[in-house]
Structure 1
Amino acid sequence: MLQDERLEAIVQYLNEHERIDIETICDLNHVSKDTARRDLIKLEEGRKVIRIRGGAKRPLLSNEVYNYDQRMNMASKAKSKIGKFAATLINDGDHLILDASTTVQHLAKHLTSRNHNIVTHSINIANVLCQREDIAINLLGGTLSHKHQAIYGSRAIRNVQDFMVNKCVIGTCGISSEGLSTSIEEEGLLIHEIIKRSEKVIVLADSTKFNKTFFQKACDLEAIDIVVTDKEVPKNVDEVLSHHGIEVIVVPEEES
């Protein structure tokens, strides 16, 4: 087994369990203790684990920050699949808030329902929908982030308070027992307000987002109604989501 494969196996194990010991790594990857320790050193250098006596544990805080283009290219097939399915959850005439998530942008591309009033702070989602004459687009005011291709700031937060919608559809950098979180402080503050303006909260999250917690909290889990994802949710997260009465939809693979 190549080192990259061994490291991925350790990370996948930690997605299901909080800790892993050296003996488990040896059994999992069929390696010696020395190799297991070297693999943990490599993972710690990449901030994927925190080494502890006799093994490692999953980091509680993630520090990943990506710009718009990087996010658009990450897990693109999964995001497209999720967005396409999530579009079927939207009914004709729904008033919506769509956040600046790249997964939500895929929903906008696949939206076939009609006669919507849509609020968004994403200039890319506005551009995707601007050819639809049956959709009224309300673009929030504020400060444009060139890095994230979205509008943030106190003006955007005040703006969104003027609306009340049937559904909001949002993405997330991380979803864990702590709730939804993001690496962008302004985004977390805006999402928190968006959720308060929505009757139903739909979260689109590909499988890489689970068991991750970032600097800025967006909301607690009890604020969420539906999570749409592309793979089975890790058992520990699934139990927490179920406890909060959140409907989890795993999008089936498309037939070839």
Structure 2
Amino acid sequence: MYQEERMEAILDYLREHRRVEVREICELYQVSRDTARRDLVRMEELGWLVRTRGGAILPTLHKDVGVYKTRLQTSSSEKKMIGQAAAGLIRDGHYLFLDTSTTVLTLAEQMTGCNNVIVTNSIDIADRLTDKESVQVYLLGGQLEREHRYLCGSATLAQLSEYYADTLFLGACGITADGLTYPHDEDGAVKREMIRRADRVIVLADHTKFGKRMFYKVASLDDVDIVVTDRAPEEDMLQLLERHGVELIIVREDEQHD
């Protein structure tokens, strides 16, 4: 087995078991301890893992998310399922905050309610809602972040401070015991203010976001009322959500055709 193949196999093992020891690499792939250590050194250089005493773990801090337009194409069926289920939680006449998430964008596309008022800092969500005559849209001003297509900064926060909402729908880049985390603090500051000014907070997140930690913490689990996802997280996360009083709604593909 070439080093590249062995490194891929080690990474698959880490994804399943979260931790690997040098002795396990030696036993699994019939290599020496020096070879196993060289593999781990190379994988750490590539940012695939973090070496520990006697082995390695997966990184817990994820540095970034993809470009917005690329994320729109990723796991689109899961996003649409989650968005459709979340749209069913919207009540006619309610005032809503919608954040910049691509999953929240699918919710906006599938909204069928009447007389809703929407406040958002996402230029794409505002654009998608222009065809919905029963919806009134407030697009927050501020500095345009071109890559991820949202408005942010002091002007955004100042304008947001004038509004309140019945419900906030927001995506999540990372959900751990520490709460909700995101890669960009300027966008995170807007989300944090939306959370403060909403009566109900609903998080839309596919299963890959559980156990992932990003740079900037926006909220604790106590701030969240509902999580809508496509697959149940691991047992320890289920217990955490229950302990913090978070309702979990799991949407499965077969349910979309009932």
- What TM-score, normalized to structure 2? 0.87
Q: Secondary structure at the match of 1:137?
A: strand
* Counterparts of 1:241 and 1:78, CA distance in 2: 21
Q: Secondary structure at the match of 1:148?
A: coil
Match of 1:13 in 2: 17
Output the CA distance in 2 between the equivalents of 1:191 and 1:75: 23
* Structure 2 SS opposite 1:89: coil
Q: Distance in 1 between matches of 2:40 and 2:77?
A: 30
Residues 91-149 of structure 1: per-residue CA shift (max 9 Å, x gap): 11121000010010011111112210000000100111101111000100111111111
Q: What does 1:68-83 correspond to in 2, within 5 Å?
A: 68-83=68-83
Unaligned runs of 5+ residues in structure 2 are none
**Residue equivalent to 1:209:** 209
What SS does the corresponding residue of 1:130 show, helix, strand or coil? helix
CA distance in 1, matches of 2:9, 2:74: 19
RMSD: 2.3
1:184 aligns with 2:184: yes
User: Is contact 1:225–1:245 with CA below 8 Å preserved after alignment?
Assistant: yes
Alpha-carbon distance in structure 1 between the residues aligned to 2:170 and 2:131:
22
Please say if 1:252 is aligned against 2:252: yes
The SS at the match of 1:163 is: coil
Q: Distance in 1 between matches of 2:236 and 2:24?
A: 19
Distance 1:51 1:163, change over 3 A: same
* Distance of 1:214 and 1:231 partners within structure 2: 21
Aligned partners of 2:14 and 2:58 also within 8 Å: no
CA contact (8 A) 2:86 2:228 kept: yes
Where structure 1 has 5 or more consecutive residues not aligned to the other structure, the ranges are none
Q: What displacement does 1:39 show?
A: 6.0
Residue in 2 that maps onto 1:102: 102
The separation in 2 between residues aligned to 1:33 and 1:54, in whole angstroms, is: 15
Per the alignment, in what secondary structure is the counterpart of residue 249 of structure 2? strand
- Larger Rg, first or second structure (1 or 2): 2
User: Kindly tell me: are residues 5 and 89 of structure 1, through their superposed partners in 2, closer, same or farther at Cα, counting changes over 3 Å?
Assistant: farther
- Output aligned runs, 1:143-182, within 5 Å: 143-182=143-182
How far 1:11 sits from its partner (Å)?
A: 1.5
Post-superposition shift, 1:46?
3.8
Q: Tell me the TM-score normalised to structure 1 length.
A: 0.88
**Taking every aligned residue pair, what percent have the same amino acid on both sides?**
40
Q: Kindly tell me the number of residue pairs found equivalent between the two proteins.
A: 250
Alignment correspondent of 1:239: 239
